[in-house]
Chains A and B, each alone.
Chain A
Amino acid sequence: AQTVTQSQPEMSVQEAETVTLSCTYDTSESDYYLFWYKQPPSRQMILVIRQEAYKQQNATENRFSVNFQKAAKSFSLKISDSQLGDAAMYFCAYRAVDVTGNQFYFGTGTSLTVIP
């Protein structure tokens, strides 16, 4: 079974600074999706960014970017110019791209604190 590992249970960053959240995964598949989801306290889980494994270019969404290292099975999230609204739980997730790909595998999450 696929596993997703987030080794940083908690992280903190000063407002306006940059922080990187780590994620590694284990799979024997060659084609899959990776995601970062954000869940603010008592609020809805929303997609931050996604990466398709067959694309070599790292995904970016405004202040959020990923460093996707397929061979190393690493998928880190960089948040630039951190804002107070970035404080949340961040979950890394994996999904296979095949007919059985209804299963999403989540990491244990990283709680990000933004210090004013």
Chain B
Amino acid sequence: DTEVTQTPKHLVMGMTNKKSLKCEQHMGHRAMYWYKQKAKKPPELMFVYSYEKLSINESVPSRFSPECPNSSLLNLHLHALQPEDSALYLCASSQRTGRAGELFFGEGSRLTVL
């Protein structure tokens, strides 16, 4: 199983809503990532979890709150978002270290904030 599964695929929310994005992988990877991507731009790193601990937070606004309940799951809780937060949110995973290396991406959750 070499898949990263993200739900929902599409999400529309108002600026006062609270919603969550979910990500799951069963490859035994111990590093999981959230990226934000705008059209025709590279992914922008938001958060990295390593062994279920937050290891990188790229100065993301507090209206985005990550959570890693276990080694297979990663959530991104959304609250009081702004229209400029509309984007494709990508989850990815990789082996923690060592000579394997690549990122495996999910299909993404396309978020629209009204």
- Are A108 and B48 in contact, CB atoms less than 8 angstroms apart? no
- Are A109 and B31 in contact, CB atoms less than 8 angstroms apart? no
Most chain B CB within 10 A, of A33, A44, A91, A107, is at A44
**Which of A35, A44, A102, A106 contacts B102, CB < 8 Å?**
A35
**Which of B40, B97, B99, B102 contacts A47, CB < 8 Å?**
B102
In the complex, what residues of A have CB within 8 A of residue B41's CB? 108-109
**Contact flags (1/0) for B36-66 with A, using CB distance below 8 Å?**
0000111101001010000110000000000
B58 to chain A, nearest CB (A): 10
In the complex, chain A residues 18-33 whose Cβ is within 8 Å of any chain B Cβ: 33
In the complex, what residues of B have CB within 8 A of residue A91's CB? 42-43
**Contact flags (1/0) for A23-54 with B, using CB distance below 8 Å?**
00000000001010100000111110010100
**Is A67 interfacial (CB 8 A cutoff)?**
no
- Are B102 and A50 in contact, CB atoms less than 8 angstroms apart? yes
The chain A residue sitting closest to B30, CB to CB, is: A102
- Are B45 and A104 in contact, CB atoms less than 8 angstroms apart? yes
**Is B69 interfacial (CB 8 A cutoff)?**
no
- Are B56 and A102 in contact, CB atoms less than 8 angstroms apart? yes
**Which of A45, A104, A111 contacts B40, CB < 8 Å?**
A111
In the complex, what residues of B have CB within 8 A of residue A103's CB? 45, 48, 56
A55 to chain B, nearest CB (A): 10
A32 to chain B, nearest CB (A): 9
Task: Flag the segment in A70-78, A79-87, A93-101 that touches B.
Answer: A93-101
B70 to chain A, nearest CB (A): 18
Bound CA–CA A91/B41 (angstroms): 9
Bound CA–CA A52/B90 (angstroms): 25
Bound CA–CA A35/B102 (angstroms): 8
Bound CA–CA A77/B108 (angstroms): 25
**Which B residues are closer than 8 A to A by beta carbons?**
31, 33, 40-43, 45, 48, 50, 55-56, 90, 94, 96-99, 101-108
Known: A33-B101, A91-B42, A108-B42. 14 other contacts (CB 8 A): A33-B102, A37-B103, A43-B107, A52-B99, A91-B43, A97-B97, A97-B99, A102-B48, A102-B56, A102-B97, A103-B45, A103-B48, A104-B45, A106-B42
